[in-house]
Amino acid sequence: MITLRTSITGAVLALSLVSAGCVSVLPEQPKPEAVYRLPDPQTRVELETNVVIREPDAPRLLAVRKITSQGPDGGFKVLPGVAWADRATRMFQVTLLDAFSTSGNGLAVDDVTGVSGAYEVYWRVSQFSLDGGEGVCQLELTLLDGGSREPVAQHTVSASSPASARDDLARAIALADAGRQCVERAATFIAERAVAPESEDISDESL
């Protein structure tokens, strides 16, 4: 005799098996053929005082590990065969930290350490994608006073780098190189404006 309890138990078991089957047949996300990071800066600049480098903001599509290409209509396409080794915003932060020499009077400080500095860098990755066979990068930077957090200077840097071939691997390398160039230009701007308090020229106008 089949009881109601037996029927319910059987139905639950059948549902569990169906659910497990559904999970097992879902297609796995394709793994990229290669992963990339931003190249090390070719030059390193000295700081006069400590500067806190925060992870930059970015549109969601540009802040992750995906590498994108922008089409003529402005739409973005994800390149399936390549990816970044880490989220793009973290790569920019680490590369900018590495763009400063440790031989100066000041140091570039990762904000996660909790160490304060005379200045802080608030910045945004406004463009970091492929445009056909060219890698394009743009960074918007604001240098803040570390105490008052008032803006001291603002600047935008940009860079581009052509790919050596049409394949996605060569295009990813070109985009990484454009990111490196952007970071180096950002570091130069920060080093020029982040002067030690005792060396500040009071005639300079803050933005």
Strands 119-131 and 134-145: antiparallel
Identify whether the C-beta of residue 121 lies closer than 8 Å to the C-beta of residue 144. yes
Q: What are phi and psi of 164, to 5 degrees?
A: -80, -15
3-state SS of the chain: helix, strand, coil percent to 5? 30, 30, 35
Closest CA to 116 of 154, 90, 155, 144: 144
pLDDT of residue 30: 66
Contacts of 129 (CB under 8 A, 6+ apart): 62, 67, 68, 69, 70, 76, 135, 136, 175
Hey, what long-range contacts does 161-164 have (CB within 8 A, 24 or more apart)?
A: 161/134, 161/135, 162/133, 162/134, 162/135, 163/130, 163/133, 163/134, 163/135
R_g of the chain computed on alpha carbons: 24
What token pair was written down for 180? 């490196």
Model pTM?
A: 0.81
pLDDT of residue 27: 46
Give the type of residue at 46.
E
Q: Which residues of the chain have a pLDDT value below 50?
A: 1-2, 4, 6-27, 199-207
